[in-house]
């Protein structure tokens, strides 16, 4: 396979663009390919392509480099003689269902390259690039500034066919800013406060109310984020109750544990994210509305590089911290078609200078005027995740 440099955005939004194409039809049942009618974009924060494609990294699975208290136990759980054996233990759903029904991009060992193009190596620019389809050079860090750029989810939510059926979930209190909620009214759950969708939404179930209590009562380990377990059960319940057509889910623990140089918990977080994705996939496959009509796209907001400090900090200390992987599949046998170059420019020129691909034109390149308000977290300090120094 020839080497290729590409960004995630075009693929994810091309698929979302297809979903929108369906909504344009006078009768939704007349929409084009029914397999494109529901999209779930899943991001696993700072998950390296190395673990996705090679599994446990022997070099980091030690006391010295990865703070691993029991390296033998970690090897028993995720170790293996070959990369394919190790990755299947780490992310069994990816390497079973996705491997057989979907497509992978970004395995550098096979010459496939997927990169961010924002050049910032932190989370907000990576998420913004992914959901807006452009790089905004003014978005430099993780400060709580309302994103002035229109994103694909707000564009979908504005369409009558998508009303009440576009939802975004993350475990970080910056997500409402990344999605521009204050500007566009899109409800974004950050897993910090209670899940409280706007009036007119379906009634919350007992499970959701229980998780809301846990969000309040379980002490948070990190100031601006919470455990992924505060998100996963609500995503399942809300999928049952609200029948989303476009869904965004971001798991954050991988990044938090990596910042703590806790390689074992980083791997556990990746393993749990894989299990959560599997559970959602199985749920949707059990619902006639979704079965064989749903596309999952899975990626990361950035990589972490190959060195110990880069892996910890996710910063630009190595030549490749912007690397990321992506994979996607959908429940029909049509998948994304044959293995081919994704429909995107291989250039690393900033996207803001490129013409929008045809499928993105419906979103446009809207940039809304300020306020560019810089807000503070509930602990009084501006959250700058990924930018803090390692201990």
Q: Which is nearer to Zn ion, 223 or 357 (CB)?
A: 223
Residue 317: phi and psi, rounded to 5, are -95, -5
Q: Which of residues 315-354 bind Zn ion (CB under 5 A)?
A: none
Q: How many whole angstroms separate alpha carbon 318 and alpha carbon 306?
A: 7
Q: Which is nearer to Zn ion, 239 or 261 (CB)?
A: 261
Q: How many whole angstroms separate alpha carbon 373 and alpha carbon 34?
A: 41
Q: Which of residues 45-74 bind Zn ion (CB under 5 A)?
A: 45-46
Torsion of CA 138, 142, 309, 56, to 10 degrees: -110
Question: Long-range contacts made by residues 334-338, C-beta under 8 angstroms, separation at least 24?
Answer: 334/33, 334/35, 335/101, 335/102, 335/103, 336/11, 336/102, 336/103
Q: Which is nearer to Zn ion, 31 or 298 (CB)?
A: 298
**Smallest separation, CB 145 to Zn ion (Å):** 16
Q: Which is nearer to Zn ion, 215 or 304 (CB)?
A: 304
CB-nearest residue to Zn ion = 123
**Smallest separation, CB 123 to Zn ion (Å):** 3
**Smallest separation, CB 301 to Zn ion (Å):** 4
Q: What's the maximum distance between 2 C-alpha atoms anywhere in the chain?
A: 62
Of 73-81, 122-130, 336-344, 346-354, the window that binds Zn ion (rule: CB under 5 A) is 122-130
* 228, two tokens: 């992924």
* 30, two tokens: 């007349």
**Smallest separation, CB 255 to Zn ion (Å):** 5
Q: How many whole angstroms separate alpha carbon 58 and alpha carbon 63?
A: 11
Q: Which is nearer to Zn ion, 149 or 225 (CB)?
A: 225
Q: Which of residues 262-321 bind Zn ion (CB under 5 A)?
A: 301
Q: What number of helices (H) and strands (E) belong to the chain? A: 15, 7
* 70, two tokens: 């029991």
Q: Which of residues 69-108 bind Zn ion (CB under 5 A)?
A: none
Residue 233, H or E segment: helix 232-242
Q: Which of residues 228-267 bind Zn ion (CB under 5 A)?
A: 255
Q: Which is nearer to Zn ion, 14 or 327 (CB)?
A: 327
**Smallest separation, CB 252 to Zn ion (Å):** 8
Q: Which is nearer to Zn ion, 324 or 351 (CB)?
A: 324
Question: For residue 230, what are the contacts with CB-CB under 8 A and spacing of at least 6?
Answer: 171, 191, 211, 214, 215, 218
# binding residues, Zn ion (CB under 5 A): 5
Of 24-32, 115-123, 169-177, 282-290, the window that binds Zn ion (rule: CB under 5 A) is 115-123
In terms of Cβ atoms closer than 10 Å to its own Cβ (0-12, 13-18, 19+), residue 272 is middle
Q: How many whole angstroms separate alpha carbon 318 and alpha carbon 311?
A: 9
Contact flag: residue 180 with Zn ion (CB under 5 A): no
Count CB neighbours of 147 within 10 A: 28
**Smallest separation, CB 386 to Zn ion (Å):** 6
Q: Which is nearer to Zn ion, 189 or 237 (CB)?
A: 189
Contacting Zn ion (CB under 5 A), which of 123, 130, 147, 299?
A: 123
Q: How many whole angstroms separate alpha carbon 27 and alpha carbon 342?
A: 30
Site string for Zn ion, 16-45 (x = CB under 5 A): -----------------------------x
Q: Which is nearer to Zn ion, 103 or 120 (CB)?
A: 120
**Smallest separation, CB 324 to Zn ion (Å):** 10
Contact call for residues 16 and 39 (beta carbons, < 8 A): yes
**Smallest separation, CB 43 to Zn ion (Å):** 8
Please give the residue ranges that form the binding site for Zn ion (CB under 5 A).
45-46, 123, 255, 301
């Amino acid at each position: 396979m020839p080497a290729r440099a590409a960004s995630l955005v075009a693929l994810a939004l091309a698929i979302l663009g297809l979903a929108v194409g369906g909504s344009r039809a006078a009768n939704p049942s007349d929409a084009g390919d029914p397999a494109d009618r529901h999209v779930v974009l899943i991001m696993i924060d700072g998950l390296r392509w190395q673990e996705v494609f090679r599994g446990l990294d022997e070099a980091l699975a030690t006391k010295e480099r990865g703070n691993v208290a029991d390296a033998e136990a970690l090897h028993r759980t995720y170790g293996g003689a070959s990369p394919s054996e190790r990755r299947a233990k780490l992310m069994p759903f990816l390497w079973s269902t996705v491997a057989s029904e979907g497509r992978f991009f970004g395995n550098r060992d096979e010459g496939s390259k997927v990169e961010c193009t924002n050049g910032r190596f932190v989370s907000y620019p990576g998420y913004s690039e992914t959901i807006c389809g452009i790089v905004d050079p003014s978005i430099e860090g993780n400060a709580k500034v309302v994103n002035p750029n229109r994103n694909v989810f707000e564009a979908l939510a504005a369409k009558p066919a998508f009303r009440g059926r576009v939802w975004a979930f993350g475990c970080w209190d910056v997500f409402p800013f990344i999605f521009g909620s204050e500007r566009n009214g899109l409800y974004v759950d950050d897993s910090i406060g209670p899940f409280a969708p706007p009036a007119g939404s379906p009634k919350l179930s007992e499970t959701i109310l229980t998780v809301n209590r846990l969000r309040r009562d379980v002490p948070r380990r990190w100031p601006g984020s919470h455990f992924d377990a505060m998100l996963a059960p609500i995503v399942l319940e809300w999928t049952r109750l609200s029948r989303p057509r476009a869904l965004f889910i971001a798991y954050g623990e991988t990044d938090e544990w990596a910042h703590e140089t806790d390689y074992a918990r980083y791997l556990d977080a990746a393993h749990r994210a894989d299990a959560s994705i599997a559970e959602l996939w199985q749920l949707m496959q059990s619902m006639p509305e979704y079965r064989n009509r749903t596309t999952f796209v899975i990626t990361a907001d950035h990589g972490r590089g190959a060195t110990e400090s880069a892996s910890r900090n996710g910063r630009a200390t190595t030549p490749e911290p912007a690397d990321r992987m992506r994979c996607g599949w959908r429940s029909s046998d049509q998948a994304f078609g044959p293995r081919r170059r994704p429909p995107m420019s291989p250039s690393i020129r900033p996207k803001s200078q490129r013409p929008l691909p045809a499928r993105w034109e419906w979103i446009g390149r809207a940039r809304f005027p300020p306020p560019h308000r810089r807000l503070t977290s509930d602990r009084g300090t501006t959250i700058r995740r990924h930018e803090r120094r390692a201990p």
